[in-house]
Amino acid sequence: MLFRVHRTPSTALKHTVHLVRKKLSTSHVTAATQLPRRLTVNEKDIEEAFLKGSGPGGQKINKTSSAVQLKHVPTGIVVKSQATRSRSQNRKIARQNLAEKIEELEKGPESRTALKAEIKRKQKASKSKKARRKYRALQDNRAVEVDEEEGTDLENRMEDEAREERV
């Protein structure tokens, strides 16, 4: 998610907002926790469904159907992706999602997904605490413009940003 933050020239804060990883002191799961290896799925177990609309194709149509649907035959899990315009890219994304879902099914709370979610939750809690502190101080001292297009509160966007942080 991209957004532009407009600052009055007099603010001391930099244009780009840096995501600071705060060291987490409580709980066994920290940002430094080693995630287990990604699960590699056997190609033979994956079926790709080719989603094609009815009607003519080829030169007669120029609408791109880039959706990819993968099914893991042993578990019956189905994953669909149309995140990008590229079918090959969507295939990669769908494969990753499929692997994650299979692992979730198999490993439950010890899966990569569960551990990642826990790490993110802690980082967000810490990040939003810091953001609130920062912007409370800002609002006390100066006016800050709100991005008209997004129309959301600056603080909420900071929290969104924390949520976006990759693990």
Partner 1 sequence: MPRLPTSLLRRARHEHSLLPLLFRTCRDLPSARNELRWLREHILETASPKSPPSTRHQRLYELCLQRSKGKPLQYILGSQPFGNLEILCKPGVLIPRPETDLLTTHLAQTLLSYPPLPPTIHILDLCTGTGCIPLLLHSLLHPSIPHPHIHIHGIDISPLAMSLARKNLHHNTRHLHPSSQISFQQADIFDTEWLNGIKAESSKKWKWDILISNPPYISPHAFNNGSTARSVRNYEPKIALVPTTPTYSSTDAPETGGDMFYPRLLHIANELQVGVFVVEVADMAQAKRVVGMVRERGAWEGVEVWRDFPEQGGRDGTGEVVEVDGRDGRDVRVRGEGEGRAVVAWREGWGGVFEG
What residue ranges bind partner 1 (CB under 8 A)? Answer: 2, 4, 6, 50, 52, 55-66, 82, 84-89, 147-150
Give the chain's radius of gyration (CA, Å): 22
Q: Which is nearer to partner 1, 95 or 112 (CB)?
A: 95
Q: For residue 65, report the phi and psi dihedrals to the nearest 5 degrees.
A: -105, 100
CB of 148 to partner 1, least distance (A): 5
Q: Which is nearer to partner 1, 93 or 119 (CB)?
A: 93
Q: Which is nearer to partner 1, 40 or 62 (CB)?
A: 62
Beta carbons of 160 and 1 less than 8 angstroms apart: yes
Strand order in the sheet with 77-81: 46-49, 68-72, 77-81
Beta carbons of 125 and 17 less than 8 angstroms apart: no
CB of 43 to partner 1, least distance (A): 13
Q: Which secondary structure element, helix H or strand E, spans residue 106, and what is its range?
A: helix 87-107
CB of 46 to partner 1, least distance (A): 12
CB of 128 to partner 1, least distance (A): 24
Q: For residue 79, report the phi and psi dihedrals to the nearest 5 degrees.
A: -130, 135
**Coil, strand or helix: which one is 158?**
helix
Q: Which is nearer to partner 1, 25 or 59 (CB)?
A: 59
Q: What is the DSSP letter of 72?
A: E
Q: Which secondary structure element, helix H or strand E, spans residue 78, and what is its range?
A: strand 77-81
Q: Which is nearer to partner 1, 47 or 110 (CB)?
A: 47
CB of 118 to partner 1, least distance (A): 29
